Structure 1
Amino acid sequence: MPYPDKLLADDEEVVRHLHPHWLTVLRPVVVLLLVVGGVSFGAALVPAGPQQGMIRLGLVLVAALVLLVLVVVPLLRWRSTHYVVTTHRLLFREGILARRGRDLGLSRITDVSYTQTLWERVVGSGTVTIETAGDSGATVLRRIPDSDGVQQLLNHMIEEDADRRAQENAGYMRGDDGSAPGGWYSTAVL
């Protein structure tokens, strides 16, 4: 699913769109399998009789509630969390019903680092820490897939953004046609 174009500027392109690492959804999938298996086994153990249907219905309702809280909500939270690197900024969006987001201009980022535990190295995950100019403090992104690659990509994009800005400033200083701004004083005789 491409990131919504309405959030991007005219000359901005998505470079990388990430969700939290897939291990984030491993626990909900295991819970799903255990609950479905347990309820199926429990329903088979219910003795025959007039209350059998009500007991099985009760088991299904309890299982549905457990699945909603322990499976559906974490899966929706994972799916609705976006880390997007563009040519101009880094965007974070998260939340199912209430949304929260933050945009960091690449020009404001002063340092990008990553850390990985041994387990995170094995599964290809990690934590990316982004320092920015200003008083907002560090932004910490946990459970990022390919965290070292994301750190390298961000550093590369920061350099490209600085180069692009320098070229735009140089173009502004020269004027659109390559002459000095204003034109009339560029030919002045000293």
Structure 2
Amino acid sequence: MGYIESNLVADEEILYTGRKHVVLMLGQIITEMILIGLTLVAFSVVSMVFTKYNMTQNTLQVIVYGALGLATTVLVVSGVLDYLKWYNDCVVITNMRMMRFEGVFNRHMVESVLDKINDITLNQTFWGRLFGFGDVTVLTAAESGIQEMRNIAKPLEFKQALFLARSLQDEVGQADNDSEHHVVDRHMDDAPAHERNRADEYGDDNNHVHGLQQAIDDADGLAPTPPHGNEDPNDAQDEVIDEAAAEERETILRQLEILHAKGILDDDEFNTKIQRLYGKDA
């Protein structure tokens, strides 16, 4: 597993990976190769001179050979580092966020979730349009603010991938909302008619969750069930009131169970509401 993959979370997929245009990295490496070639030529010339004048044991020969060998080594290492820097400096777009990676030995990552991205601008010079690279600036609402990717290869593909990722996230969010409403509607369809009417009072037909949430407040505000010993069997009006209160509590109980099943209420909150509903000590 690579470094980028190790930063992914569950259900996160890479949609796009972009780097600086390879021509910029090759330009540096070609320059270093030319310098290495010149160093080797100088090494050959110096070797011929030393051989011609029988200077094989001369201290100067050791110094010159050592300097040329060191220069060659430095140029080779520099070329390898240029490649590693080009490879590790990248931007990754997933179905959840945009990540920018930099550094060879010390790694640095900046990320922005997709819904925090506000605007994208693209700038291409004449040479950028000719070779297919450009500067992309992403304005976000996150703490990082502005992220600028300079000389990125195929910047239009980067921009399109970012728009695609945001569209996919919007579709997933809409699907989750539809699924949530479907679950609530299914529970309400199985409930008695008077419970469905009560849910409609708290919210419109498209959002029963708000109506169910109101049941929490009702559980807090509804008076506890009076003990059976305090009931007056001769008072018909009190019996009607008690029956209405019991029916009301039954309705709220079913709605609290729905909220608990959906995870809106945890176990402690659910038990507390039930205890308050029936007048028990928490």
Into which bin does the TM-score normalised by the smaller protein fall? 0.7 to 0.9
Shift of the 45–113 alpha-carbon distance from structure 1 to 2, 3 Å rule, reads: same
2:186 is aligned to: 179
Pair 1:55-2:70 in alignment: no
Q: Distance in 2 between matches of 1:43 and 1:189?
A: 91
1:24 is aligned to: 24
Q: What is the SS of the residue equivalent to 2:153?
A: coil
Of stretches 92-101 and 164-173 in structure 1, the one that deviates more from structure 2 is 164-173
Give 1:79 deviation, angstroms: 1.6
Give 1:184 deviation, angstroms: 4.9
Q: What residue identity is the alignment partner of 2:64? A: I
Give the TM-score normalised by the residue count of structure 2. 0.59
* Residue 170 (structure 1) aligned to one of 170, 178, 200: 178
Q: What is the SS of the residue equivalent to 2:145?
A: coil
Shift of the 66–147 alpha-carbon distance from structure 1 to 2, 3 Å rule, reads: same
Residues 41-52 of structure 1: pairs in structure 2 closer than 5 A:
41-46=41-46, 47-48=49-50, 49=55, 50-51=57-58, 52=61
1:154 is aligned to: 162
* Residue 80 (structure 1) aligned to one of 69, 85, 88: 88
Q: Distance in 1 between matches of 2:196 and 2:175?
A: 28
Q: Distance in 2 between matches of 1:159 and 1:171?
A: 18
Q: What is the SS of the residue equivalent to 2:137?
A: strand
Higher CA-based Rg: 2
CA contact (8 A) 1:12 1:88 kept: yes
Of stretches 117-126 and 58-67 in structure 1, the one that deviates more from structure 2 is 58-67
Pair 1:8-2:16 in alignment: no
Number of paired residues? 188
Shift of the 39–115 alpha-carbon distance from structure 1 to 2, 3 Å rule, reads: same
CA contact (8 A) 2:110 2:144 kept: no
Shift of the 55–11 alpha-carbon distance from structure 1 to 2, 3 Å rule, reads: same
Could you list the per-position Cα deviations for residues 7-34 of structure 1 after superposition, in whole angstroms to 9, with x for gaps in the alignment? 2222211111222210231232212321
CA contact (8 A) 1:180 1:186 kept: no
Give the TM-score normalised by the residue count of structure 1. 0.85
Of stretches 158-167 and 122-131 in structure 1, the one that deviates more from structure 2 is 158-167
Could you list the per-position Cα deviations for residues 91-139 of structure 1 after superposition, in whole angstroms to 9, with x for gaps in the alignment? 1111111111011111111112211001000110011111112453221
Q: What residue identity is the alignment partner of 1:13? A: E
Q: What is the SS of the residue equivalent to 1:175?
A: helix
Pair 1:117-2:125 in alignment: yes
- RMSD after superposition: 2.6
For structure 2, the 5+ residue unaligned runs are 198-282
2:149 is aligned to: 141
2:109 is aligned to: 101
CA contact (8 A) 1:112 1:128 kept: yes
For structure 1, the 5+ residue unaligned runs are none
Pair 1:128-2:136 in alignment: yes
Shift of the 189–170 alpha-carbon distance from structure 1 to 2, 3 Å rule, reads: closer
Residues 26-41 of structure 1: pairs in structure 2 closer than 5 A:
26-41=26-41
Q: Distance in 2 between matches of 1:65 and 1:138?
A: 36
* Higher relative contact order (Cα pairs below 8 Å, separated by 6+ residues): 1
